[in-house]
């Protein structure tokens, strides 16, 4: 029996393509089922089974939605729909722009300005309840998610939690829109390389500084964390 040599090979499925598809399918699920703020999403095990992907990938996708203010994770209760997404506005703002590394650098400069102002206003009103909320946000990241190869720049739940705490609804809404634009650009570039462990560790250090009342140190650590994203994007 003669084995025929194939004329064409198969192209590996990029992790970012899979991740983008999971995000799109969950967004479709929310829209088609007309889920409203307060409605509960299926658990990550159920979503992973329906989508045919691993639970860590689903949890990462839910973290992205949480970072956008699209969903809210309630410890022991599940994941619930929050206010409307900013996806349409983000896509309109990106319309006609060339999504390349130069655009991402410009977006990052905007992010740094917004995120630092969010933290600045958070420092003015943070108390035990707010610190406990931030601690829960970090605690919801599973060990297998931290060690899973992923794109840490997409993990914005900690920043989103700061936005909700800062007490400035206008600033929080601008932050959520910037997060959506950031994610749209990152997904379009298709970058997917690093681990989330470093981002999680840096968020933990920022929280510890806040818990200790070292607000200037928290600001410095946060700025270093954000500027580190630029170094990542240059790799």
Is residue 157 domain-shared with residue 212, that is, in the same domain? yes
Q: Which CATH number covers residue 57? A: 1.10.10.10
Tens of pLDDT along 47-70?
999 999 888 888 888 887 887 778
Tens of pLDDT along 77-99?
889 998 655 566 666 777 777 88
Is residue 154 domain-shared with residue 124, that is, in the same domain? yes
Domain extent, residue 166, equals 87-233
Residue 12: per-residue pLDDT: 52
Is residue 112 domain-shared with residue 212, that is, in the same domain? yes
Is residue 111 domain-shared with residue 166, that is, in the same domain? yes
Would the pLDDT of 11 be above 60? no
Q: Considering 47, 66, 81, which residue would you say is the last residue of a domain?
A: 81
Residue 188: per-residue pLDDT: 77
The answer as to whether 1 is a domain residue is no
Q: Which CATH number covers residue 110? A: 1.20.120.530
Is residue 26 domain-shared with residue 117, that is, in the same domain? no
Query: Can you give the three-state secondary structure of the chain, one letter per residue?
Result: CCCCCCCCCCCCCCHHHHHHHHHHHHHHHHHHCCCCCCCECCCHHHHHHHHCCCHHHHHHHHHHHHHCCCEEEECCCEEEECCCCCHHHHHHHHCCCCCCHHHHHHHHHHHHHHHHHHHHHHHCCCCHHHHHHHHHHHHCCCHHHHHCECCHHHCCHHHHHHHHHCCCHHHHHHHHHHHHHHHHHHHHHCCCCCECHHHHHHHHHHHHHHHCCCHHHHHHHHHHHHHHHHHHHCC
Residue 28: per-residue pLDDT: 87
Is residue 117 domain-shared with residue 215, that is, in the same domain? yes
Whether the full predicted model's pTM is greater than 0.75, yes or no, is no
Q: How many domains does the chain have?
A: 2
Is residue 64 domain-shared with residue 150, that is, in the same domain? no
Is residue 59 domain-shared with residue 107, that is, in the same domain? no
Is residue 60 domain-shared with residue 20, that is, in the same domain? yes
Where residue 111 falls among pLDDT bands split at 50, 70, 90? Answer: very high
Q: Considering 81, 96, 116, which residue would you say is the last residue of a domain?
A: 81
Tens of pLDDT along 144-198?
555 555 555 567 889 989 998 999 989 998 998 888 888 878 877 765 445 667 8
Residue 199: per-residue pLDDT: 85
């Amino acid at each position: 029996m003669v084995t025929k040599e194939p004329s064409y090979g198969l192209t590996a499925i990029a992790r970012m393509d899979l991740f983008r598809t999971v995000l799109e399918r969950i967004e479709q699920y929310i829209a088609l089922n007309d889920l409203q703020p307060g409605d509960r999403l299926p658990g990550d095990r159920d979503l992973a089974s329906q989508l045919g992907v691993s639970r860590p990938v689903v949890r990462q996708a839910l973290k992205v939605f949480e970072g956008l203010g699209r969903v809210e994770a309630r410890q022991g209760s599940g994941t619930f729909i929050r206010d409307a997404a900013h996806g349409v506005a983000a896509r309109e703002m990106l319309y006609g722009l060339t999504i390349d590394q130069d655009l991402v650098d410009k977006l990052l400069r905007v992010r740094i300005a917004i995120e630092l102002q969010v933290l600045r206003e958070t420092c003015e009103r943070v108390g035990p309840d707010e610190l406990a909320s931030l601690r829960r946000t970090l605690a919801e990241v599973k060990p297998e998610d931290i060690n899973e190869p992923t794109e840490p720049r997409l993990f914005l739940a900690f920043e989103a939690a700061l936005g909700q705490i800062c007490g400035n609804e206008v600033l929080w809404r601008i932050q959520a829109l910037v997060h959506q634009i950031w994610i749209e650009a990152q997904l379009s570039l298709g970058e997917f390389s690093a681990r989330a462990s470093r981002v999680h560790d840096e968020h933990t250090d920022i929280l510890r500084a806040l818990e200790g009342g070292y607000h200037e140190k928290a600001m410095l650590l946060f700025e270093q964390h954000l500027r580190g994203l630029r170094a990542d994007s240059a790799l």
